[in-house]
Amino acid sequence: MSTFAASHLSPSYPDRAAWGTAPKLRAWQQQAFDLYFSREPRDFLTVATPGAGKTTYALRIASELLARGVVKAVTIVTPTEHLKRQWADAAGRVGIAVDPEFKNSQGTTSRDYIGVAVTYAQVAMHPALHRARTEARKTLVIFDEIHHAGDAKSWGDGVREAFEPATRRLQLTGTPFRSDDNPIPFVTYEEDAEGVKRSVSDYSYGYGPALADGVVRPVIFLAYSGEMKWRTRAGDEIAASLGTPLTKDQLSQAWRAALDPKGDWIRQVMHAADRRLTEVRRGVPDAGGLVIATDHETARAYARHLRNITGETATVVLSDDPGASKKIKQFSASQDRWLVAVRMVSEGVDIPRLCVGVYATSTSTPLFFAQAVGRFVRARKRGETASVFLPSVPTLLGLANEMEAERDHVLNKRPPEDGLDDTLLEQANRQKDNPDVLGDELPFETMEATATFDRVLFDGGEFGTGGAVGSAEEEDFLGLPGLLEPDQVATLLRKRQSEQQAARRRQQAAQPKQELAPHEQIAELRRELNGLVGAWNHRTGQPHGVIHNELRRACGGPPIAQATLEQIQERIAMIRRWATQRR
């Protein structure tokens, strides 16, 4: 088989190639391709940030292996039915005929096909069948988002049984880390000095390098706090401010009230997101928006809100909708403004024109967050930016601040010395409070939920002085141009920050001195620290996220979104010492 077609596939297929990359493979794809064939491995794990072009890279390797006669067949394993068809379309363009409709009940497929595309669940249902197919011909197995093989023990066992005899196995993932201890089949784990086993990739291409190469878009996070009031089943009325220190139960319920379609918070945030989309469309005419919803009922309610806001019907994609794949494909090819989805587009689904997102779900694992944000980072041309709106919840703000962090899958985590695993306890609490999870929920009725613009997060830094929805402070950031280079984004954010701080100082100077509330003190200190981090970035060239991580290592404590007043003060003192001691 000729590899000509594969070599001329867009580096970001099925997207258009990023500026300056076509028609050849991107630098990382070529480097990983060369490394693969220099080693001739049976197993090879490639970790590449969402939007980097893993599909093109994998099919280029498949074409080469088929052309050399190393393999005679290809099996592609994906997390979803939609992705089976997406892979089959991409493979067809390079001359590899793949059957995406293969069913376990068939046993075999047409001779017209070189391979099949199946789901992890499909393999787990009949691993012996897939093992027999793998043994019958020399087979390359491509695992799309291989971490899904650890979603359930049956899935992992099925994948291992079915593809143990494969001639070659190529594992792909954009997010290799998981929050559990389920081992991922065919992934190598190495023990560190503390006896903890960590996944080891053969080639890694993270978000930071991809952003520097112009392969992915910079992501601006716009966080919204607000006032929430709800009534419990016992009839108690509780009020809390999202974005201030709260107990876990208070935070969970305030978060849920914010996402409640009956309240004003989500309407106000979606209205702000639509204003942002309008601004982005000035430079990116077909830019689209995505609301990631918690469940089917809220998804439909959000779509009604969007219709009232925009005057246009939003596309709704639900996980049990048999026409979901068709709807996603139609939306991707259209110029419609908004798509509302429940999980369906959280991973692997390519809608390259998505530029604005609303994170309207209470799922807060690092894996899901990275997958969700990955829907917006796929660059088509140089200068496109992405904007994601989210509630001011410490977990989400911490994840947004650490976008560039690379995580490995960790096994046999060491429990604390007292025998209580706080991580598992937190997960249990989060699951119980999480509307995504069926079971006991904290029953309450939302009475009030109003939004307030909180801050902007970018490259590990925080910007803005807050303000009411519709205020000039909010408009400063909603009106950022939709076409900006990463350094231009940082420059404009610093300028907006400086202007707002100067305006606030003038306002405060004209007013009598007042004692700040604890949450106001923390907000002021965060802004001061972020200003110092921005200055250090300008001096050293280090990304904001790297500087924040170095401060955490030096001073201890959690990410800035979760840090106490004293911890932030300690970091401010530390970075001031750096400024006087380091050259």
Q: Which two tokens stand for residue 415?
A: 């429990």
Nearest to 53 by CA among 228, 183, 188, 172: 172
Specify the 3-state DSSP secondary structure of 236.
coil
Q: Which two tokens stand for residue 326?
A: 């068709």
* Phi, then psi, of 543 in degrees rounded to 5: -60, 150
Give the pLDDT score at 136.
Answer: 95
Residue 480 burial class via C-beta count within 10 angstroms: exposed 0-12, middle 13-18, buried 19 and up: buried
d(CA 402, CA 282): 29
* Count of C-beta atoms within a 10 Å radius of residue 319: 14
Residue 317 burial class via C-beta count within 10 angstroms: exposed 0-12, middle 13-18, buried 19 and up: buried
Nearest to 268 by CA among 26, 470, 476, 34: 470
Nearest to 374 by CA among 346, 337, 396: 346
d(CA 117, CA 214): 31
DSSP state of 441: -
Q: What sign has the CA pseudo-torsion 454, 459, 460, 463? A: negative
Q: Which residues are paired to 582 by β-bridges?
A: none
Give the pLDDT score at 386.
Answer: 93
Strands (E) in 120-196, as ranges, are: 139-143, 168-173, 188-191
Q: Which two tokens stand for residue 189?
A: 């784990």
* Phi, then psi, of 4 in degrees rounded to 5: -60, -50
* Phi, then psi, of 193 in degrees rounded to 5: -65, -25
Mean pLDDT by 10 residues, the chain (583 residues): 49 43 74 95 92 91 96 94 90 94 90 94 95 96 90 85 97 71 81 76 87 86 93 84 83 93 96 96 94 93 96 88 82 94 65 94 83 85 90 89 58 41 35 36 78 88 83 88 80 81 72 69 82 73 79 88 87 84 56
Angle at 106 between CA 100 and CA 108, to 5 degrees: 80
**Residue matched to tokens 């613009």:** 453
427 within 8 A of 364, measured Cβ to Cβ: no
Q: Which two tokens stand for residue 301?
A: 């309610």
Q: What is the 3-state secondary structure (H, E, C) of 84-100?
A: HHHHHHHHHHCCCCEEC
Q: What one-letter code names the amino acid at 147?
A: H
**Residue matched to tokens 């794809």:** 29
533 within 8 A of 575, measured Cβ to Cβ: yes
83 within 8 A of 100, measured Cβ to Cβ: no
443 within 8 A of 260, measured Cβ to Cβ: no
394 within 8 A of 67, measured Cβ to Cβ: no
Q: Mind giving me the DSSP string for 140-180? A: EEEETTGGGGGSSHHHHHHHHHHHTT-SEEEEEES----SS
* Phi, then psi, of 481 in degrees rounded to 5: -55, 150
Residue 519 burial class via C-beta count within 10 angstroms: exposed 0-12, middle 13-18, buried 19 and up: middle
For the chain, give me the number of helices (H) and strands (E)?
20, 20
Nearest to 463 by CA among 381, 400, 416: 400
Q: What one-letter code names the amino acid at 485?
A: E
Q: Which residues are paired to 205 by β-bridges?
A: 48
Q: What one-letter code names the amino acid at 392?
A: S
Straight-line distance from the first to the last Cα atom of the chain, in angstroms, rounded to the nearest whole number:
58
For residue 481, cis peptide bond before it (omega within 30 degrees of 0): no
174 within 8 A of 350, measured Cβ to Cβ: no
* Phi, then psi, of 429 in degrees rounded to 5: -65, -45
Specify the 3-state DSSP secondary structure of 166.
coil
Q: Which helix (H) or strand (E) holds 241?
A: strand 237-242
* Count of C-beta atoms within a 10 Å radius of residue 222: 26
